Structure 1
């Protein structure tokens, strides 16, 4: 309810008339008008974002101001390949690198796709892990496809409590940290290869090890790291213009490809656009289109997971990372710990990047807020 006071006029009217005016204002139909947006919220959105500007600005503003969504530090919206909204939290800017956490897995999958396209690896051959190829080792049945789709069958227990017993914590920071792939590959088989979905950072590190061994077999840690860095720069970062893309390596020279790629928000957006365009940039196909289609195809063991990508489909577990099929089931995303998202919707011609820190108890509310933003755009 808004009441505008003009004292020189109201002073001549009876109090009863003022009361009637107040009652009339309070009895208006529908909800009260929304409060005006801060100027900064509107300035973050372009003049023509492809949908009404104010609802988009409000959806973005909620991500930065709502108390139950954690801490949003960067938000980008790209429509038809153009940045139509970009906003940063206090103390953050466009030049800062942000860790992708598990968004890194999607980058690693693209690198593996390039090696498959080069003929260096095959999807359905036994994964080239020497430890598994001994006579009678049941892990010899694990294929590259199984690893990419998180159905290796290895005993990898992610997000376990207490945290110091969780496999990804042990591998990254405790007893496995100097040779992460060796630690991950040494784990026993819990399920038949291919039968059971288990999201695992350790599995993605095995993929990184396979990539490193493919590029530099029997090499020193320094040589392995150098060969991988050169491959990433020449085949992905430079063609995409992802100048900030940086991977971390362990003491054995293995890329920490399950969790430790860093990039600026705009470069994460470039990666999302690359996926939206089926693996091409400026008309050049960097990885075969059918590889991106494979990454987006549901795993036989989990309908909402592809090959190192989350899919917008109903989940058969309690871990639903996207919108449960709402809006458009063609939506997919690279998703990382603490609320990192590169959400891609080809039919909406949309890429949304969210970077920040959202704890598990606020994750559902964050996903709901991102769903409201994405839902503003129509599908083609």
Structure 2
């Protein structure tokens, strides 16, 4: 009996150590699940069952159990009953993880949207396009290339191909259609970059200026420019690792104000000479944008009134942290067609149906390779400058999000291609096939 008790105590001791060691990971696990569930259910109008079966079905997130309160619009996720996280949906701001019970009833501002109804066809409106057959398009080849991503392996949700402003291919997985909002993840970084481009065009800021961070004024970080931050080339310390507890995961799942983590990091490299991909940098840039406006309301509104709603991306919702900052690193939702409009804005060099939101110079700026990135990164956009995708023009550039969310801009081909899914894929093979169908 004594031996049995000792063995039992030993087992309990081991379990206690395991739980204590893994508790921070459980916090992130439950946090991811709660946030994703709240956004999927209350923002994208999916069911909990669908979300659990698709979005939350990978290890270790699938170990959490989820439930929602439809009246309060709260999602609760439990990790083995040992730790529980809650996320609340706020109209106009999306979902956010709660850190205290008071967050449930805390007041908040919402962005003022500008919805303009017109009878124009896509992309300048939302009515149906006239049937257009391009003689140089091999539609069978195009269908084959798109269908390639819709097998059981690739877990693709949506593909949209736009050529000369005409949708020439559009396909959705079961459970999705042209009205489905889909999370862009880090494609949001390209949205943020565009806001900078518009503000620069309007004379509201200059990206070559020193970053207006008071805490950097008296140390070696004082020479970091907004340009350095946009290129992820500030030299600041940052750990972008989603497989463990890192700067990135702590920021997204534990911080009230996500703009501050990167600000508080030391300089470990040289500005303009130390490229390091950092979601913290993008959220710092979101905070800098907020400081350019007299009021919080103006900051919330500008992204929509002068950009998103202006080009008819009316399905888009930018999610904010508990402090009211848009999470520019990670959280924006929109339909595939609206993401296509975003790509077309760049294809047309910032001109939207006759109105100039930014110039060709801004396009040149965001597609200029960052020193140290080996030609793969610009200003919050990814590049093909060194032919990483060998069968695709070097001039192609794209917004890139976790699990293979993509908006490709192909200026040489007058084409924008959108892809959403749950897994990365052979991008070169897919793009090669689509381009092969276009006999220019």
Superposition TM-score tier, normalisation by shorter sequence = 0.7 to 0.9
Match of 2:307 among 222, 228, 236: 236
In 1, Cα distance between equivalents of 2:178 and 2:133 = 21
In structure 2, do the counterparts of structure 1 residues 55 and 47 end up closer, same or farther at CA, with 3 Å as the change threshold? farther
Match of 2:335 among 257, 264, 273: 264
TM-score scaled to structure 2, two decimals? 0.67
Partner-residue secondary structure (3-state), 1:243: coil
User: Which residue number in structure 1 is paired with residue 84 of structure 2?
Assistant: none
Q: How far 1:228 moved relative to its partner?
A: 2.4
User: Which residue number in structure 2 is paired with residue 376 of structure 1?
Assistant: 436
Partner-residue secondary structure (3-state), 1:287: coil
In 1, Cα distance between equivalents of 2:346 and 2:279 = 21
Q: How far 1:72 moved relative to its partner?
A: 0.4
In 2, Cα distance between equivalents of 1:119 and 1:277 = 21
In structure 2, do the counterparts of structure 1 residues 278 and 190 end up closer, same or farther at CA, with 3 Å as the change threshold? same
User: Which residue number in structure 1 is paired with residue 151 of structure 2?
Assistant: 65
Query: Is 1:53 the equivalent of 2:139?
Result: yes
Partner-residue secondary structure (3-state), 1:181: coil
In 1, Cα distance between equivalents of 2:146 and 2:246 = 34
Query: Is 1:140 the equivalent of 2:222?
Result: yes
Asked whether the 8 Å contact 2:233–2:273 carries over to 1, the reply is: yes
Q: How far 1:91 moved relative to its partner?
A: 0.6
User: Which residue number in structure 1 is paired with residue 377 of structure 2?
Assistant: 305
In 1, Cα distance between equivalents of 2:243 and 2:168 = 41
User: Which residue number in structure 2 is paired with residue 126 of structure 1?
Assistant: 210
Partner-residue secondary structure (3-state), 2:256: coil
User: Which residue number in structure 2 is paired with residue 252 of structure 1?
Assistant: 323
In 2, Cα distance between equivalents of 1:151 and 1:351 = 28
Match of 1:367 among 422, 427, 430: 427
After TM superposition, list the pairs within 5 Å mapping 1:1-380 onto structure 2.
Answer: 48=133, 50-65=136-151, 67=153, 69=154, 71-133=155-217, 135=218, 137-159=219-241, 161-162=243-244, 165-174=245-254, 177-216=255-294, 224=296, 226-302=297-373, 303-314=375-386, 323-358=388-423, 363=424, 365-378=425-438
In 2, Cα distance between equivalents of 1:377 and 1:306 = 29
Q: How far 1:198 moved relative to its partner?
A: 0.9
In 2, Cα distance between equivalents of 1:47 and 1:234 = 32
Asked whether the 8 Å contact 1:171–1:184 carries over to 2, the reply is: no
In 2, Cα distance between equivalents of 1:118 and 1:284 = 13
User: Which residue number in structure 2 is paired with residue 29 of structure 1?
Assistant: none
In 1, Cα distance between equivalents of 2:300 and 2:242 = 32
Partner-residue secondary structure (3-state), 1:215: coil
Partner-residue secondary structure (3-state), 1:326: coil
Asked whether the 8 Å contact 2:138–2:439 carries over to 1, the reply is: no
Asked whether the 8 Å contact 1:47–1:53 carries over to 2, the reply is: no
Q: How far 1:94 moved relative to its partner?
A: 1.1
Q: How far 1:227 moved relative to its partner?
A: 2.0
User: Which residue number in structure 1 is paired with residue 122 of structure 2?
Assistant: none
Q: How far 1:52 moved relative to its partner?
A: 0.8
In structure 2, do the counterparts of structure 1 residues 252 and 92 end up closer, same or farther at CA, with 3 Å as the change threshold? same
Partner-residue secondary structure (3-state), 1:180: coil
Q: How far 1:377 moved relative to its partner?
A: 4.8
Partner-residue secondary structure (3-state), 2:212: coil
Partner-residue secondary structure (3-state), 2:235: coil
Q: How far 1:379 moved relative to its partner?
A: 8.2
In 1, Cα distance between equivalents of 2:422 and 2:242 = 20
In 1, Cα distance between equivalents of 2:240 and 2:326 = 19
Q: 1:268-319: CA deviations, max 9, x gaps?
A: 000000011111111211112211210111112221111111111338xxxx
Q: How far 1:373 moved relative to its partner?
A: 3.0
Q: How far 1:159 moved relative to its partner?
A: 2.2
In 1, Cα distance between equivalents of 2:380 and 2:231 = 6
Asked whether the 8 Å contact 1:295–1:306 carries over to 2, the reply is: yes
Asked whether the 8 Å contact 2:145–2:434 carries over to 1, the reply is: no
In structure 2, do the counterparts of structure 1 residues 47 and 64 end up closer, same or farther at CA, with 3 Å as the change threshold? farther
- Name the structure, 1 or 2, with higher relative contact order (CA <8 Å, separation 6+): 1
Asked whether the 8 Å contact 1:63–1:369 carries over to 2, the reply is: no
Q: How far 1:238 moved relative to its partner?
A: 2.4
Task: Calculate the aligned-residue CA RMSD, in Å.
Answer: 1.8
